[in-house]
Structure 1
Amino acid sequence: MALSNDQKKRFRGIGHDLKPVVTIGANGITDTVLEELRRALNDHELIKVKLAAGERDDRQAIVDYIVTHTQCEEVTRIGKITLLYKANRQANPKLSNIARHSKI
C-alpha cells in the first residue's frame, strides 16, 4: 500500500529530528546490514538510513534493494539520507517513532 501525500508529509516532519540508525558504506548491503535494517524497521517503524558511498544511481539501486527485501516504503530522500517506513501493528510504543510522536 502506497503512502498518501498527507502520511508522507507527517512522516517527513517526524523524520526531520531523527538520526540515521544504519549507515551503508563502501561494502554496500550485506546480510548483516539487511538484518539490522529489518530489526530497526520492526522496532522503530520510521528510520533514517545514511548511504555513505556510491554515486546517485548506486544509491538508488541500494534503496530499491532495501525496499524490495524489507517490504518497507521510501518516504523521502535528500542527498545521501533516506527515510524509510514499515508499519508494525505490534510495535512497542516506547520504541516506535510513529507512536512516540503521535502523542505530541
Structure 2
Amino acid sequence: MIMTSKQRAYLKGLAMNIDPIFQFGKNSLTPENTAAIAEALEKRELIKIHVLQNCADDPKAIAAIVAERTRSEVVQVIGKKIVLYKESKDHKKIELPKARKEAK
C-alpha cells in the first residue's frame, strides 16, 4: 500500500500522542526486535521507536530495514524517533483518510 501525503499527515498527528514502545541501543536491530515489532504492529497498527545515543546505526537506515522486514510503512523519522504503520488484518483500529480517485 502506498500512502498518500494526506494519510501520512494524519498518522503523524496520531503519532504525536504515543510514546515509543521499542528502543534500539548498541545491539541495534536483531531478529528478536524485528519479530516483536511485527507483533506490535499487528496489534497497534501505529508504533514509535526510539534509537538511543549508543546505537551506531542511522535511524533512517534502521527505519527502512525494519519497514521492509515487517512489511510496514515508515510514516516519519525525526531525529532519533521512528514511526511505523501497518494495517492490521484482525485488529483494525485506525481508519485512514480515503485516497482520492485519479481522474481518467
TM-score, normalisation: structure 1: 0.82
Q: Which has the higher helix share?
A: 1
1:19 corresponds to 2:22:
no
Identity, in percent, stands at 28
Aligned-pair Cα RMSD in Å: 1.7
Cα offsets for 1:30-80 (capped at 9, x unmatched): 11111110111010000001111225xx22221111011000000111100
Structure 2 partner of 1:67: 67
Q: Say how many residue pairs are matched.
A: 94
**Which amino acid letter does the alignment assign opposite residue 39 of structure 2?**
R
Structure 2 partner of 1:3: 3
**Which 4+ residue blocks in structure 1 deviate beyond 3 angstroms?**
none
**Aligned mates of 2:74, 2:11 — CA distance in 1:** 11
SS state at 1:74 partner = strand
**Aligned mates of 1:39, 1:16 — CA distance in 2:** 21
TM-score, normalisation: structure 2: 0.82
SS state at 1:48 partner = strand
Gaps of 5+ in 1: 100-104
1:54 corresponds to 2:48:
no
